[in-house]
Amino acid sequence: MKAGVWVAPEGAEQPVSVLPIGAKSLDPPHGTLTADVALAKLASLDSAEMAKNCANAIELLSNIASAIASQKSDAPTRLFRLSNLNDLERTLIEDVLGEGEVAGVVALPDGAVAQIQESVLAGIWRIRLEACAADDYIEVGAVPEIVTGAATYLTSSDFTIGAAPDGVMNALPVLAEIRERALAWRPGLRSQIINFTLLPMSPVDMAFLQQSLGNGPIQLISRGYGTCRVLATGIRNVWSVQFFNSRDTIILDTMEVGGVPTMALAAGEDFEDSAERLQEIIEAYIT
């Protein structure tokens, strides 16, 4: 098992495994549709043919560009269904959006799993319910609503701190602090961070902490500057946020009390940049 407050099960070396979303369009190195590969593919296509055969997709991309240009970090997200697109149009959408830094899964009450993939244009997300490809859609915003909804409605508002097992050193006061902060946190307040890398916490402390908080319905992973894993605990407003080095060893282990951690969010400046880039792609390669 890995060291750290939130550990992977034995044999599960990858914290989050996200299946590809949608049909395959390209197969670049490492299986990721990067911006460079996507643009190279678009440049090889006939824009007149695309305009003729992909009218719905082009209109959708234009609407997405308009939506993200006016999007604000604290504003509700906007959804764009893909049900009216044919296979060629879906492929075009995938080629334009590619795969960005953040991906994840949300476990839903009915047993379904929602797959989440940020595009190469930050703030534009691809979401698919695993059991139904027809529910594939695109969402514009800081983070998909299904994440914030699950964090709110599929977690417990409070928890009881049980009797500590033998060997516990500091878990009880840490749990009391987490509980107090979680109950007091409200939207708009700054998130508070507890750094376990600097605390004298024994393996027994870590195990008791995890047992007390439980597992939540959300797993996100960001591969921007290094790898960051964000897991919702079973308690509302309490998240495990861990940073890994190239050897998949935890180098910073924290608990964050607040809203969805910033490592998984698109920022306000991302929206403006993504709107400009998407509009440039539409004008240069598609229309």
Q: Is residue 16 scored above 70 in pLDDT?
A: no
- From the list 9, 105, 41, the residue with the least C-alpha distance to 50 is 41
- Does this model's pTM top 0.85? My answer is no
**pLDDT at residue 220 is higher than 50:** yes
Give the pLDDT mean for 11-22: 36
pLDDT of residue 3: 44
- Domain membership of residue 2 (yes or no) is no
Q: Which residue type, as a one-letter code, is found at position 212?
A: S
> Which pair of structure tokens corresponds to residue 64?
């997405």
For position 132, what pLDDT does the model report?
A: 61
The number of beta carbons lying within 10 Å of the beta carbon of residue 52 is: 9
Residue pair 209/281 in contact by the 8 Å Cβ criterion: no
CATH number of the domain where residue 71 is located: 3.30.1370.140
Q: Which residue has the higher pLDDT, 47 or 147?
A: 147
Cβ–Cβ contacts within 10 Å for residue 51, how many? 12
For the chain, how many structural domains are there in total? 2
| 197 within some domain | yes
Are 137 and 162 found together in one domain? no
Give the domain range for residue 115: 30-142+267-286
pLDDT band of residue 91 (cuts 50, 70, 90) is confident
The one-letter code for the residue type at 29 is P
